[in-house]
Amino acid sequence: MAVAAPQAQDSATHVTPVHRVGEQVFDIVADIGDVAMFSALTFSWLFRRRPRWSTLVPSMYAIGVSSVPVVAITGTFIGMVLAVQAHSQFALMGLATRLGSVINISLVKELGPVLAATMLAGRVGSAMSAELGTMRVTEQIDALSALGTNPINYLVVPRFLGCFLLIPLLTLMADFMGVIGGAVVSTQLLGVDSFAYWQHSRNYVGGMDLFAGVFKSFFFGAAIALISCHRGFHSRAGAEGVGRAATEAFVYSFIAILFLDLTIGIAWNAMYRTIWPQSAGLL
Amino acid sequence: MSEADLAGLANPKSPIVEITDLTMRFRHQTVLRDITLQINAGQTLCVIGESGCGKTVLLKLMIGLLRPTRGVVKFDGRDLSKLSEHELTMTRLRFGFLFQMAALFDSLSIYDNVAFGPREHNLYDEATLKKIVTERLQEVGLPDGLEHKKPAELSGGQRKRVGMARALALDPEVMLYDEPTTGLDPIMSDVINELILQTAQTKKATGIVVTHDMKTVLKVADRVVMFYPLARLREDESQILYDGPPEGLEGHPDSRVRQFVQGEAGERLREMAQNRANG
C-alpha cells in the first residue's frame, strides 16, 4: 500500500503576523484565567478538607524553618547597608541621631516585608515550582489523580498554608535582624549616640508601622505560593521545561510582590486618609 | 468510601469501556480522531502503534485525566464527562494505572507508595493495610526489606513492579499499563509480561496495555488495536489500522501493519533520504 500523503497540520494554514499577535493575546488571557481558576480551586480545597499533617509539617519546615538563616542574614545586611548609606547624608545635615527612625521605619514598612518575600520567592518559590514541575513531567501528579487524590489538595494547599502563615514570621525576623544590624553599625561603627538613636526610633516607629508591613506580607506569601505552584503544575517536559518553570516562578512572583506592594500601599493609604484626614497614611 | 461507592461492579457481558467518536486535540495538533472502541470486561487489549499516535492519551482519557475535545468515554455505562468530581474519583478507584516510568512518589518510601491509595481513602486500618502492602509486594516478586527504601534506590524493573503493586492495592477492575516493558532488559520485560498475565488470570481484571513491544502483545493480548499517527494519514482514513486477535497481525494485507509488527523502517528510509536531499 502506498504511504499516505502526510495530513496537513491545522497550523499550516496561512499564519500571518496578525494571527500570531492574536494568539499571544489569547494565550495571555487564557493564562490569567488559568491562574484565577487555580487560585479559586486552592481556596475551595482549603475549606473542603483539612490538610494532612504528613504533608503540612514538611512543607512548613521547608518554607519556614529552612528560610530563617537566609532571611536573617539578608535582613541584617540590609539594615547595616542602610546605616552606612544614610549616615553620610544625615551627618552632613547634622541629623545623624535621626538615623534610627529612618532605618527602622524603612525596614518595618517596606524593606523587611519585600526582602523576606523576595528571599522566599527565590529560595522556596523556585524550589516548589521545580519540584512540582518534576512531578508533572514524571507523571506523579497524574498518578495522584489516578489514585483518587486531588493534586491541588495534596500538593498545593500545604504549600499555600506554609507560605501564607509563615511569611509574617519571616518578615518579623527580617525586621528584627535589620534593626539590630542598622543599630550596631550606626552606634558602634559610625559613632551615633545610642540613646538618641533609639529615642528617635521610638518616636517615629509605632506598632501600626510594624502591622502595616506584616499585613502586606500575607498577600506576598499567598502570591508566591499560588504563582510557584501554578508554574510547576504547568511545567513543560524535560529539564529545560522544569528549569523554565522555576525561573518563571521567581520572576512572576517578584513582579507580583512589587505590584501588590504598590497597590496595597495606595489602597490602604487612601482608606486611612479617608478615616483620619490629618494622617500621613499607614502603608 | 461508602458501600454504595464500592458496589456496582461491571457486568462482564457488557463493554466495561466504551469510546465513541473520540477526538482529542492539543492546541494545533489533533492526536486522536473519531476513535470508536469497545472493551469487554475480562479482556486484555493491547494498543500498539508508533510513538506519538495517541496511545497514552487514550489511556488518560479512559480514566478521566484528560477531557476529550469531542466524543464520549463511558466506563461501566456512565459517561465520564457527566460525572461529578466525587463520582469521577470513585470511578478512578476502579482503575489501576501503571505509568510508563512508574510515577512513584519520590518523597515517600516504597511502603507508603503502595499504601497510598487505600490510606488516602481510609479503606483499612493500619494493621490490615500492612498485610495488604506486604501481599502486593510479594505478588509482584519484590524481596522483603524493600519497604523502607525510597524509589530512587530501586532499579527500573523494581520501580515498575512497585508501581504495579501500588495500582493493585486498590483491587482494580481495569488495569491500564502504559508501555510496561519500555526501558527494561529482556528478562525483566518477561517478568512484567508474566505479571500482566497473572493479574488478568487471578484478579480477573480487564487489561489495557499500551506497548511497542511485540513480545508483550503476543504473550498477553486477547485483542490488538493498532493506531497510526494522524499526520501520516489521509483525511478519509481511519486511525485504527487493525482491530483483531494477535494472530491476525502477521501477514496482514496493510503494509503499515506488517512493517510495525516486523520492525521495518519501510518508507521512512525513503522519506529520510528525501529530507536529507531537500536540506
CATH number for the domain spanning B25: value is 3.40.50.300
**Smallest CA–CA separation between B191 and chain A, in Å?**
23
> Do B107 and B244 fall within a single domain?
no
**The C-alpha cell of A61 is what?**
519546615
**A27: nearest CA in chain B?**
B27
DSSP three-state, residue A70: helix
* B176 and B165 part of one domain: no
Q: Which residues of B touch A145 (CB under 8 A)?
A: 63, 65, 92
Identify the CA nearest to A131 among candidates A119, A142, A140. Answer: A140
Judged by CB atoms closer than 8 Å, whether chains meet at B231 and A9 is answered as: yes
The Cα B180–Cα B194 span in angstroms is 11
The full length of chain A comes to 283
Put simply, the chain A residues between 128 and 147 with a CB less than 8 A from any chain B CB are 134-135, 138-140, 142-147
The last residue of one of the domains, among B141, B171, B201, is B171
d(CA B220, CA A205) in angstroms, rounded, equals: 76
> Residue A13 has what pLDDT?
61
Same domain, B148 and B223: no
Question: Are B148 and B209 within one domain?
Answer: no
CB B42, CB B206: distance < 8 Å: yes
Supply the range of the domain harboring residue B113.
101-171
- Residues B177, B272: one domain? yes
For the CA atoms of A112, A117, A122, A123, the dihedral, rounded to the nearest 10 degrees, stands at 90
* Chain B CB within 8 Å of residue A25 CB: no
Contacts of A31 in chain B (CB under 8 A): none
CB proximity A30 to B under 8 Å: no
CB proximity B29 to A under 8 Å: yes
pTM, full prediction: 0.85
Check if A149 contacts B (Cβ < 8 Å).
Answer: yes
For residue B230, list chain A residues with Cβ-Cβ distance below 8 A: 7
Q: Of B90, B234, B256, which is closest to A5 when you measure between CB atoms?
A: B234
Q: Does B106 touch chain A (CB under 8 A)?
A: yes
Domain count for chain B: 2
Average pLDDT value over all residues in chain A: 89
Among B126, B148, B171, the domain boundary falls at: B171
Contact in structure between B102 and B113 (CB atoms under 8 Å): no
CB contact under 8 A, A140 and B106: yes
Say which DSSP state A98 is in: G
Nearest to A143 among B99, B170, B271 (CB): B99
Residues in chain B: 279
Nearest CB to A138 within list B63, B89, B103: B103
Assess whether pLDDT exceeds 80 at residue A8: no
ipTM: 0.88
Chain A nearest C-alpha distance from B48 (Å): 19
Q: Is the CB of residue A275 less than 8 Å away from at least one CB of chain B? A: no
CB contact under 8 A, A148 and B101: no
Q: Looking at residue A147, what DSSP letter applies?
A: T
Judgement on whether residues B108 and B196 belong to the same structural domain of the protein: no
Asked whether residue B128 falls in the same domain as residue B263, the answer is no
Please tell me the distance in Å from B145's CA to the nearest CA on chain A: 23
Q: Say if residue B198 is in the same domain as residue B143.
A: no
CA distance B180 to B164: 9
| Beta carbons of B37 and B28 less than 8 angstroms apart | no
C-alpha cell read off for B91: 470511578
| Least confident residue range of A3-17, A30-44, A169-183, A217-231 | A3-17
Q: Are strands B44-48 and B206-210 parallel, antiparallel or unpaired?
A: parallel
| Contact B123/A at CB under 8 A | no
Least confident interval from A94-108, A220-234, B213-227:
A94-108
Measured between beta carbons, which residues in chain A are less than 8 angstroms from residue B95?
A: 146
* DSSP conformation letters of chain B: --HHHH--PPPTTSEEEEEEEEEEEETTEEEEEEEEEEEETT-EEEEE--TTSSHHHHHHHHTTSS--SEEEEEETTEEGGGS-HHHHHHHHTTEEEE-TT----TTS-HHHHHHHHHHHTT-S-HHHHHHHHHHHHHHTTPPTT-TTS-GGGS-HHHHHHHHHHHHHTT--SEEEEESTTTT--HHHHHHHHHHHHHHHHHS--EEEEE-S-HHHHHHH-SEEEEE--GGGS-TTS-SEEEEE-GGGTTT-SSHHHHHHHHT--THHHHHHHHHHHT-
B79 and B183 fall within a common domain: yes
Q: Note whether B90 contacts A: Cβ–Cβ < 8 A.
A: yes
Has residue B122 been placed in a domain?
A: yes
Q: How far is A243 from chain B (nearest CA, A)?
A: 19
Split at pLDDT 50, 70, 90, the class of A280 is low
Say yes or no: B161 and B191 in one domain: no
pLDDT band at residue A11 under the 50/70/90 scheme: very low
Assign A279 to helix, strand or coil: coil
Instruction: Give the span between the Cα atoms of B163 and B169, in whole angstroms.
Output: 10
pLDDT in tens, chain B (279 residues): 444 443 444 455 578 999 999 999 998 889 999 999 999 999 999 999 998 899 999 999 999 999 999 999 999 999 999 999 999 999 999 999 999 999 999 999 999 999 999 999 989 999 999 999 999 999 888 888 889 999 999 998 899 999 999 999 999 999 999 999 988 889 889 989 999 999 999 988 999 999 999 999 999 999 999 999 998 888 888 999 999 999 998 888 988 898 888 888 777 777 788 888 876
B210 touches chain A (CB under 8 A): no
Distance (Å) of CA A213 to CA A77, A260, A268:
19, 12, 12
Query: Which one of B60, B89, B233 has the shortest CB-CB distance to A4?
Result: B233
Question: For chain A, what percent of residues have pLDDT higher than 90?
Answer: 65
* A and B: number of Cβ contacts within 8 A: 79
Nearest CB to A148 within list B93, B105, B271: B93
Domain boundary among B171, B189, B208: B171
What band does A5 get if pLDDT is binned at 50, 70 and 90? Answer: very low
Residues B84 and B128 in one domain: no
Q: Is residue B2 part of a domain?
A: no
> Whole-angstrom Cα distance, residue B39 to residue B176?
12
Pairing of strands B70-75, B174-178: unpaired
Cα–Cα distance list, A61 to A67, A112, A222, B91, B103 (Å)? 9, 21, 17, 35, 25
Q: How far, in Å, are A282, B175, B198, B228 from residue B203 at the CA level? A: 67, 10, 8, 32
